[in-house]
Amino acid sequence: MNTITDTAHRYWNDEWQRADGSSPWAMPEPWVVDHAQTLAPGSRILDLGAGIGRHALSLAELGHNVTALDAAEASVAAIGAAAFTKALAIETCHGPMTDLPFDAGSFDHVLAWNVIYHGDETVVRRTLAEVARVLRPGGSFMATMLSNRHLPHEQARAQGREISRNTWVFDGPGDKVHPHYFCAAPDLLALLWGFEVFTLYDRPHEKPGSWHWHLLAERLA
């Protein structure tokens, strides 16, 4: 029997209902915006796991054609409301990252910031395959993944267990009660079979010990 592991959107749906402009999740990442400024005007961009729209809104303001997808209904509602207020044309879509409702080659760029690792390796593989399918050959892919350097930080905070290869859940509050995939560089590179990787580096985010891989890649022909 298959076990559903991409369940973290249930936690984040509640978070997105409480989030506002003061939330740290409302601030776009400089690297994301810097790369978007190198893209051709009007590029078709998919913001995968868009949250409350920090990147979707910024990329639309740069003049790109943005589609924002998230499995949390509150995310889609928040982005739709913000886009209306700012008079931005952003297409919103509610759905899972493992089964994208778009034609092959629909996008010039796919962004997946802090999203693909929410599940086990099967979820990660399916999502990366979907990203490769909807991204045109030569299109760019920017993403973050949880580093295995992050794992000791979580183990020091709460009791955890590995439920499958590289996939952990932890007791207590927060989204880590849902499965998360932690990986080393060789594991990650092996998963990126449809891409040429240009940039891959590991750094912590805002909290100490919060190591994440940051990657920029191109869809192979």
Q: Tell me, yes or no, if the pTM score tops 0.75.
A: yes
Q: Mean pLDDT for the chain?
A: 95
Percentage, residues of the chain above pLDDT 90: 91
> Is residue 18 domain-resident?
no
CATH value at residue 106: 3.40.50.150
> Is residue 44 domain-resident?
yes
> Is residue 17 domain-resident?
no
The rounded distance, in Å, linking the Cα atoms of 157 and 177 is 12
Confidence of residue 1 (pLDDT cuts 50, 70, 90): very low
> Is residue 21 domain-resident?
no
> Is residue 101 domain-resident?
yes
Give tens-digit pLDDT for 120-167. 999 999 999 999 999 999 999 999 999 999 999 999 999 999 999 999
Select from 37, 40, 15, 17 the least CA-distant residue to 28. Answer: 37
> What 3-state class would DSSP assign to 56?
helix
What secondary structure letter does DSSP report for 217? E
What secondary structure letter does DSSP report for 30? H
Domain extent at residue 202: 28-219
> Is residue 196 domain-resident?
yes
> Is residue 7 domain-resident?
no
Looking up tokens 């919103």 gives 92
Total count of domains within the chain: 1
Give tens-digit pLDDT for 16-36. 999 888 888 899 999 999 999
> Is residue 205 domain-resident?
yes
Phi, psi of 96 (to 5 degrees): -80, 155
- Cβ neighbours for 4, distance < 8 A, ≥ 6 positions apart: none
